[in-house]
């Protein structure tokens, strides 16, 4: 049987989903709930597997790791982003890489939940109420305030529309954003510094790339109003995490909401966990029943086609199978 590994299955439910039934008799499936650190440990664990299912970017696959996985023939990704995989190295080694298409609105909805939870002090007041206290601080109205969007793509544009619905002025910056695209979304395009200087809420919706890695630095956060809020549901490495910790510790901004981090899962001794002015969630913007159904039904479709020896339509390097 074909050996298959599911990585970083935090909930331990992936292998139980009904979508596996058509291929279950042809696969020996192992599901791992932990996240290994270090290439040596990963290479030791994954060496026997012909197929690896990687959930989003929870595990990176550089060329050095792929070279240590002689049995690997199919790397099945969930989502469209392949930035955590050395695709050229995979292709050179004859490893088929497949993805899945966009998974709906879950990341958008989670961003809205974090923005509202942050400015309405949901976490603080929930904790206070459980401790026997009543109304410990003031929330903030968003109507009439300015929402700054970094990255006006599929997610950012919907968050912008939410801001407009609430009566917010919306401004945006993106590395490829034009005045025309911004105007079509009812948004004003401004410079990167202007987003931080003018916004009452800054929300990050950029893809992680060489261009955006480390984009938001201490200097940008230092431009924010002391009453402003910072939200990141995109990717942790886009933002200097140490700078975020610093401005929160100093009370230089009103607060932050973060769903993504430099290291995931977040270490138990991370300084963010000790701060009261930050709302934290464990990179769950896409973790819904509907999103998982969407991801893994397509993963299994790709697998069925691969096991037949054909090229899946969502293959990122279809030339691999053509060369076999």
Active centre residues (catalytic): 235, 264, 283
Give me the helix-helix angle, 122-130 and 106-119, nearest 10°: 60
Pairing mode of beta strands 96-98, 188-189: unpaired
CA torsion through residues 108, 110, 111, 116, sign: positive
Strand partners, 202: 148, 230
User: How far apart are the C-alpha atoms of 219 and 62, rounded to whole Å?
Assistant: 31
Residue 98 to residues 26, 47, 209, Cα–Cα distance (Å): 19, 19, 19
Strand partners, 2: 27
Cis amide leading into 226 (omega within 30): no
Dump the DSSP string for 47-71: TT-SEEEE-TTSS-B-HHHHTT-TT
Taking residue 150's Cβ as centre, other Cβ atoms within 10 Å add up to 28
Tokens of 262: 């430099």
Residue 147 CA, chain-centre distance (Å), reads: 21
CA torsion through residues 250, 232, 148, 136, sign: negative
Phi, psi of 42 (to 5 degrees): -65, -45
User: How far apart are the C-alpha atoms of 298 and 76, rounded to whole Å?
Assistant: 10
């Amino acid at each position: 049987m074909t050996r298959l590994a599911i990585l970083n299955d935090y909930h331990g439910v992936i292998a139980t989903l009904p979508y596996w039934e058509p291929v279950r008799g042809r696969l020996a499936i192992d599901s791992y709930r932990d996240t290994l650190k270090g290439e040596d440990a990963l290479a030791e664990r994954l060496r026997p597997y012909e197929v690896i299912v990687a959930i989003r970017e929870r595990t990176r696959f550089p060329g050095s790791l792929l070279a240590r996985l002689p049995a690997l023939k199919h790397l099945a990704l969930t989502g469209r982003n392949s930035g955590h995989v050395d695709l050229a190295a995979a292709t050179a080694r004859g490893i088929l890489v497949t993805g899945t298409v966009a998974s709906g609105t879950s990341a958008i909805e989670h961003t809205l939940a974090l923005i509202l939870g942050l400015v309405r002090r949901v976490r603080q007041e929930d904790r206070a109420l459980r401790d026997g206290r009543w109304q410990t601080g003031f929330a903030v109205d968003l109507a009439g305030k300015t929402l700054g969007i970094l990255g006006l793509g599929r997610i950012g544009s919907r968050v912008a529309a939410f801001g407009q619905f609430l009566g917010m002025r919306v401004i945006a910056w993106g590395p490829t954003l034009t005045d025309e695209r911004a105007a079509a979304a009812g948004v004003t395009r401004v410079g990167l510094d202007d987003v931080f200087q003018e916004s009452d809420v800054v929300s990050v919706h950029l893809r992680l790339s060489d261009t955006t890695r480390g984009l938001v630095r201490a200097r940008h956060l230092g431009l924010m109003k002391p009453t402003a809020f910072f939200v990141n549901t995109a990717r942790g490495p886009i933002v200097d995490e140490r700078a975020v910790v610093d401005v929160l510790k100093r009370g230089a901004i009103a607060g932050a909401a973060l769903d993504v981090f430099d290291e995931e899962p977040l270490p138990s001794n991370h300084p963010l966990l000790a701060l009261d002015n930050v709302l934290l969630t464990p990179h769950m913007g896409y973790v819904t029943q509907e999103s998982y159904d969407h991801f893994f039904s397509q993963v299994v479709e790709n697998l069925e086609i691969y096991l037949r020896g054909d090229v899946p339509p969502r293959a990122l390097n279809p030339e691999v199978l053509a060369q076999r």
